Amino acid sequence: MEALPGTIEMISGGGAYNAADVESFIGSHGEFSDKTTPFTVVSIIGPQSSGKSYLLNSLFGTNFGVMDASLERTQTTKGIWLAKCIRPSILVMDVEGSDGLERGEDDTSFENQSALFSLVVSDIILVNMWLHDIGRLKAGSLPLFRLIFQERKKLEPHQTKVVLVIRDFDKESSEDSVIKQLVRILEQFSHATIPPKSDREEFNKKCAELRGGLVTGNFAGLRQHNTSASAFSYNAHRIWQDVRQNKKLDLPSYKKAYSDMQCNKVKNNVLASLGSCENFRALFKDGTINPRDFSKEMNQLLESITTKYDKESVDMDVSVATETRNEIIVQIKQLLENRCETMLKKYADNHISESKKEIGKTMSNTLTVSVDSVIGPFLATFDYQCEDLRRIYETSITEIRTKVECDLRNFAVDTANEIQEAYSRMQCNEVKNNLLASLESYEIFNSITANPQDFFNEMVLLMESITIRYDEEIVDMDESVSTEIRTEMIMQIKQLLQNPCETMLKKYVDNIFSESKKEIGNVLSNTDLATVSVDTVIGKFLAKFDHESQDLGKIYEVSVTENRAKLEVVLRNYVVDKAKKIQRNRDAARTAAEVGINLLRATLWGLSAVTGTNGPDF
């Protein structure tokens, strides 16, 4: 069967649902593009060749194929066909007739399925009945009609409106009597009576009345699920599949399934359009942006995107639409997470840099301020800026805030330490200089002792006195700085005592040398010079020097060493010179003795010669 203009085969006689054709058909009608456009679905069922297609064409101006009167009574409509009423927005379904010879008496499955399908997807179902079949329990597809009315009860509270169209109603028949018979058979329904086509004028009049009731009366404009026309094909396809598989019909689930598909489609479209969204691009522009501005831009973006989504999903299942809307928001936030983290790090770096300047100024004016009170206002500023974003990116905000606090705290601590150190250094140096200036009053600088050990002892007493005074005056200063300056002061005192020490050592060397001369002379005079050792002679005096200057040598090692060397040289030279002098004296005395003896011997020899005696025997 070929489609006539304005009609399409919705379901084939074999039961195949032509989804692409239905979607294309609905999409070709512009008024259905607006999801808020109200529309109604009307279908008709009834016996084969009972004038159903002709009636629909008469009611709605459709172009369904009708039986050729010149042919025998054969099947014209196979499957289910779809057309659109010219005005208003009504989708009209022409359903294959029942009781057809082509399918046979035993093949009623398609009849039942198509009738049940029509009942579910339609807002209004027209049941086409011949007047002469009323009162005959098995005539005119009454068993099928009973099935329809039984299934209709299961669809509460969304019942499809059933209108019985009684065909070939003649003037002799009692309408009240006919309706009473139908109520006993079929229960609640609306009805209309249509005279034979042969009475053209009356037929057209009754069709117009029925059309008026369907279009403007209580029947039309009451979509049972508030579903958009674009969803009709999807829902109808799902319902037909379930009907064919004898599944339990769950009308709300069809809407949810369609809503899920459509909402995800809208979601994907709006997410794909982010690149062209000004609010989205603004979040990725170079330049400084603070978290509060970022949050504002992001909220504007979310509002823009969700508004667009809401318009596209206005007629979807509320729970599905809301869930998908939330998914969009979550995905946008995920897409912006890395950008937000980059912005936060940059803001944190700038905030830390600016905060450090202010912290430095604040802390330079006081020594008693606490670190928490200094960094508190700057952390409060960070928290204020990130207040809105924290609700979205709690982890990132917390991590970066921890870094900000750590950096500012470390800087404040270091700054406090630097300021305290500088202050301590200034104070300690002032105390040191005052103490050093007072050294002139100490005896060690005015009365030089002759003994290195005494000098050392006086020096120790001086150091103790000065350092005690120093420690008393710098008790609240930085310990490392005060210790450093204390050490410097001791070194300076030692340097100041260098010259007095040198003078003392020289005097001491002179004293030892002076005292040693007499003793050295006595030793050498009473000693065989051939056996005497210089080291032995001077060792006693050097040992005395070493004993007296051993403590001082730990401080002024060079001076002590040089003066010891000097002492050793003068002592050694003196011993050598003294020994030589003594030896010369000894040699001179021996020579004089020898001369006297020789003179005496000569005299005696002369006397012996005069006297005639023997001469001396020596």
Is position 382 within any domain?
no
85 and 181 share one domain? yes
Q: 154-187: per-residue pLDDT in tens?
A: 655 456 788 888 777 666 666 666 666 565 555 5
Q: Check residues 604 and 171 and name the one with the higher pLDDT.
A: 604
* pLDDT in the model for residue 521: 87
Q: Is residue 348 part of a domain?
A: no
| Mean pLDDT, residues 358-386 | 89
Task: Specify the range with the lowest mean pLDDT, choosing from 83-92, 264-273, 404-413.
Answer: 83-92
Are 100 and 212 found together in one domain?
yes
- At 551-564, the pLDDT tens digits run 999 999 999 999 99
Q: Does residue 533 or residue 137 have the better pLDDT?
A: 533
Cα-Cα end-to-end distance for the chain: 186
pLDDT of residue 564: 94
pTM check: above 0.85 = no
* Higher local confidence (pLDDT), 29 or 490: 490
Tell me what pLDDT residue 224 has: 46
> Once rounded to an integer, what is the mean pLDDT over residues 589-609?
81
Average pLDDT of 287-307?
A: 87
Residue ranges making up the domain that contains 532: 517-598
In a domain? residue 261: yes
Regarding whether 559 and 447 lie in a shared domain, the answer is no
pLDDT at 176: 65
Residue 188 confidence class, pLDDT cut points 50, 70, 90: low
- Judge if 169 and 30 occupy the same domain: yes
Task: Of 254, 270, 389, 390, give the one whose Cα is nearest residue 324.
Answer: 270
Select the more confidently predicted residue: 67 or 556: 556
Domain boundary among 229, 249, 269: 249
Quote the pLDDT of residue 196: 78
How confident is residue 603, by pLDDT bands cut at 50, 70 and 90? confident
Based on the fold, state whether residues 223 and 290 are members of the same structural domain: no
Task: State whether 38 and 54 are in the same domain.
Answer: yes
At residue 64, the pLDDT reads 87
102: helix, coil or strand?
coil
Identify the band that residue 279 occupies on the pLDDT scale cut at 50, 70 and 90: confident
- What integer is the mean pLDDT of 483-504? 92
Q: Is residue 571 predicted with pLDDT exceeding 70?
A: yes
Report pLDDT for 560.
95
The predicted model gives 61-75 an average pLDDT of 69
Does 605 reside within a domain?
Answer: no
Q: Which of 236-250, 303-317, 377-391, 582-596 has the highest mean pLDDT?
A: 377-391
Quote the CA–CA distance of 315 and 580 in Å, as a whole number: 136
d(CA 539, CA 527): 16
Does 353 score more than 90 pLDDT? yes
Average pLDDT over residues 574-597: 88
384 lies in a domain?
no
Q: Which long-range contacts (CB under 8 A, 24 or more apart) does 15-22 make?
A: 15/79, 15/110, 15/113, 15/244, 17/236, 17/237, 17/240, 17/241, 19/233, 19/237, 22/82, 22/232, 22/233, 22/236, 22/237
DSSP 36: T
Alpha-carbon span 277 to 306, nearest angstrom: 13
pLDDT tens digit sequence for 323-340: 999 999 999 999 999 999
Structural domain contains residue 14:
yes
Per-residue pLDDT reduced to its tens digit, 438-457 = 887 777 777 666 789 999 99
pLDDT of 31 above 50: yes
Decide if pLDDT at 140 tops 80. no
CA distance 279 to 281: 6
Q: Which residue has the higher pLDDT, 188 or 425?
A: 425
The two three-digit tokens of residue 26, written as one number:
């609905």
Q: What pLDDT was estimated at residue 172?
A: 63
**How many domains is the chain partitioned into structurally?**
4
Quote the CA–CA distance of 540 and 475 in Å, as a whole number.
49
pLDDT of residue 247: 64
- Is 101's pLDDT higher than 70? no
Does 87 or 264 have the greater pLDDT score? 264
Q: Note if the bond before 157 is cis, omega within 30 degrees.
A: yes
Q: At 233, which CATH number?
A: 3.40.50.300
Residue 415, pLDDT above cutoff 80 = yes
Q: Which of 335, 359, 391 is the last residue of a domain?
A: 335
Looking at per-residue pLDDT, the higher value among 377 and 186 belongs to: 377
Q: What is the mean pLDDT of residues 182-202?
A: 68
pLDDT at 37 over 60: yes
Confidence of residue 410 (pLDDT cuts 50, 70, 90): very high
Question: Per-residue confidence at 98, pLDDT binned at 50, 70, 90?
Answer: confident
How sure is the predictor about 147, in pLDDT bands with cuts at 50, 70 and 90? low
Mean pLDDT over residues 143-153, rounded? 62
Same domain for 233 and 279, yes or no, is: no
> 211 and 143 in one domain?
yes
- Token pair, residue 18, equals 């032509």
Tens digit of each residue's pLDDT (9 = 90 or more) over 85-96 = 866 678 999 998
284 belongs to a structural domain: yes
pLDDT at residue 306, as a whole number: 92
Condensed to tens digits (0 to 9), the pLDDT of residues 449-479 reads 678 999 999 889 999 999 999 999 998 888 9
Residues 231 and 304 grouped into a single domain: no
DSSP 312-377: HTTTS-HHHHHHHHHHHHHHHHHHTHHHHHHHHHHHHHHHHHHHHHHHHHHHHT-SS--HHHHHHH
Cα–Cα distance, 125 to 43 (Å, whole number): 5
Same domain, 262 and 237: no
* pLDDT mean across residues, the chain: 82
**Same domain assignment for residues 68 and 173:** yes
571 and 556 part of one domain? yes
Percent of residues, the chain, with pLDDT higher than 70: 81
Domain membership of residue 422 (yes or no) is no
CA atoms within 13 A on the CB side of 252: 8
CB count in 10 Å sphere of residue 181 = 12
Report the pLDDT value the prediction gives residue 179, as an integer from 0 to 100: 64
